[in-house]
Chain A
Amino acid sequence: MSALLELDSVVARMGASTVLDGVSVSVGAGELVALCGPNGAGKSSAIRAALGLTPLQSGAAKLGGEDVRRLSERERGTRAAYLPQERHIAWNLPAIEVAALGAPFLTGDAALQRARAALDEVGAGHLAERGVAEMSGGERARVLLARALVVQAPLLLADEPIAGLDPDAQLLVLERLRARADAGGGVLVSLHDLTLAARIADRVVVLDAGRVVVDAAPVEALSSDVLRSVFGLDGVWVEASDGPLLAARRLLQV
């Protein structure tokens, strides 16, 4: 069986700079892969490339074994769900309507039914009729996660889904993504919190300056060497009762 997502030696530019420089990443069914790396490493670009939203200089992005450029928009939309980092919602729609946007090809009632279930899944069932403009950032993040779950695509791509959320909401979001993978879906998620990445992911792909530095099991991928060279951290992994914990300090004191 082919991987749900395959980036094969992808090169992409943004203006004059090369944002992806031969990136290869794959995500299989039942797998949660975390993309880690400093700001500007190419995490968002990799996710956008996987969705066909970024023109590629060379290489290929494949969804379910097929080149994303050869897929129709509809096929793309049903093979991969996308949870962008941007959480701005233009109009004050009720949460249930926003979540239902995940199923644009279903009839109104069927979409609303799925939306209700997804809102319940992310603990936002009570917000269904509330306008998204009247919500806190955390509540809106839940609604948007529900929207991505409503797609029910085999693959879910989440770009920094926990940025700016309180600890409880962060854990809830990651828990839902993990549940998606455990149910047989593939998940690619970019994360800045290395401890949470290590705890949630099957594999961690470390990107730096548009290149894959390492692609391995979490604690192995985030070795002291990588922490030093990529993140500028002097860090060690401590085995806490509930999982690995990164103890780190900055190498360069400025």
Chain B
Amino acid sequence: MNRHLSLNLGLAAAILLALVGAALFGETALSAAQYGQALADPASGPGEVLWQVRAPRAICALMVGAALGLAGAVLQGLLRNPLADPGVLGVSATAALGAAGAIVLGAAAIPGLVESAALIGAALAGLLLVAIAARVRAPEALILFGVALSSFAGALTALIFNLSPSPIASAEVMNWLLGSVQNRSWIDVAWVAPALAVAAVFAAGASPGLRMLTLGEEAARASGLSMGRMRVLALIASAVAAGAAVAVAGVIGFVGLAAPHLVRAAVRGDPGRLLLPSALAGGLMLVLADLAARLMPTDQELKLGVFTALVGAPLFALIAWRAAREWRL
């Protein structure tokens, strides 16, 4: 009990430090006096940089990371598989497809429309997964279905590229698919925050069932907890969280996969207690990753999705390697 509390408090403290770091460093170097001015007068030049550029961007990264970490933890618990995440199950790809379609159709001109399309895509994927899960109980079957869904959504997105008459729209879609929290404002934060809250409530409802599922499908179904209800709650939570993340930041891989791994040992494997620290770890990872991507001395700013994949994939391989040796994957 205390150990879990201190884990979460520790992660929260690390997030605060990371946020301070994200506010201090950036392309525009500020002097100590300018920081003072920014704090005293948010409407001043340095104040604008701090409160309208860096702060919403860092908060966005935090929330997107938290949403991905939460979605990953929920899906891994639901499928009893440490390789599950919104990317694997096709939620991210379907959200991306929705956004890509909206961009090509010219929806980018109307604020909120691309985001809505991404959310609708994720929701459709979630509904499909709920419907499938009600008919097939084997988690492996759901994973296979997710992989198929992911490939199909990817193929449709490729088709959009293929048939798009305007190279500008294609470039826009590409840019968006790479994943970034660059130039995100408080409006974007206002998008992702309620979705994250809703997902958290549903995830909390699914938590006891996820823990029970540790015993396997059969034992869990006879345990007295409603596994059908739990499955719906869990899929809604992950679809909403992943959909909101993709809607605001595009496709950012590996956070949903890696965040649960980073904290699993600390909660001794408990898939219910994993949810909060996994969300916190995901948020921390993305704030740090965004800060690192900003500080990279590249001509073009490194896209966050590219950076997480570059760092995340080898890191994930390393985690998988170690996990496979200590505890079968």
Contact = CB atoms under 8 A, between A and B. Distances in A.
Given A93-B214, A101-B211, A74 B219 contact: no
Contact of B226 (A73, A80, A98): A73
Contacts of B219: 82-84, 86
Contacts of B218: 48, 53, 82, 84, 86
A91 B82 CA distance: 9
Contact of A104 (B1, B216, B225, B328): B225
B214 A89 contact: yes
A86 B220 CA distance: 12
Given A91-B269, A91-B271, A78 B224 contact: yes
A75 B221 CA distance: 12
Given A53-B222, A73-B225, A77-B223, A131 B268 contact: yes
A147 interface: yes
A151 B212 CA distance: 13
B184 interface: no
A97 interface: yes
A104 B212 contact: yes
B208 A104 contact: yes
Given A90-B214, A101-B214, A104-B212, A76 B269 contact: no
Interface in B226-277: 226-227, 264, 268-271
Contact of A98 (B1, B80, B213, B214): B214
A237 to B, nearest CB: 34
Interface string B155-172: 000000000000000000
A104 B327 contact: no
B217 to A, nearest CB: 9
Interface string A126-155: 000001011000000000100100000000
Q: Which residue among B211, B222, B328 has the maximum number of chain A CB atoms within 10 Å of its CB?
A: B222
B305 to A, nearest CB: 29
Given A82-B222, A131-B269, A144-B215, 6 more contacts: A77-B224, A80-B222, A90-B215, A93-B268, A133-B327, A133-B328
B208 A98 contact: no
Nearest to A148: B219
Contacts of B208: 104
Contact of B224 (A90, A93, A105): A105
Contacts of A48: 218
A53 B214 contact: no
24 contacts: A51-B221, A51-B222, A74-B225, A77-B224, A78-B224, A82-B223, A83-B219, A84-B216, A84-B218, A86-B219, A90-B80, A90-B215, A91-B80, A91-B269, A92-B268, A92-B269, A94-B268, A97-B268, A97-B270, A101-B215, A104-B224, A131-B327, A133-B269, A134-B327
Given A91-B269, A92-B269, A98 B224 contact: no
B253 to A, nearest CB: 24
Contacts, number: 83
Interface in A29-70: 48, 51, 53
Contacts of B227: 73
Given A98-B214, A101-B211, A91 B224 contact: no
Contacts of A74: 224-226
A82 B269 CA distance: 23
A249 interface: no
B224 A89 contact: no
A108 B272 CA distance: 13
Given A84-B218, A93-B270, A131-B269, A101 B212 contact: yes
Nearest to A78: B224
Given A86-B216, A86-B218, A92 B224 contact: no
A94 B214 CA distance: 12
A31 B300 CA distance: 76
B270 A90 contact: no
Nearest to B81: A90
B329 to A, nearest CB: 11
Given A97-B268, A97-B270, A147 B215 contact: yes
B270 A89 contact: no
Contacts of B214: 89-91, 93, 98, 101
A155 to B, nearest CB: 11
Contacts of B223: 77, 82, 101, 104
Interface in B147-196: none
A250 interface: no
Contacts of B271: 90-91
B322 to A, nearest CB: 14
A199 interface: no
Interface string A88-127: 1111111001100100110010000000000000000000
Nearest to B216: A86
A83 B1 CA distance: 28
Contacts of B270: 91, 93, 97
A131 B264 CA distance: 13
B118 to A, nearest CB: 31
Contacts of A104: 208, 212, 223-225
A81 B213 CA distance: 15
Contacts of A131: 268-269, 327
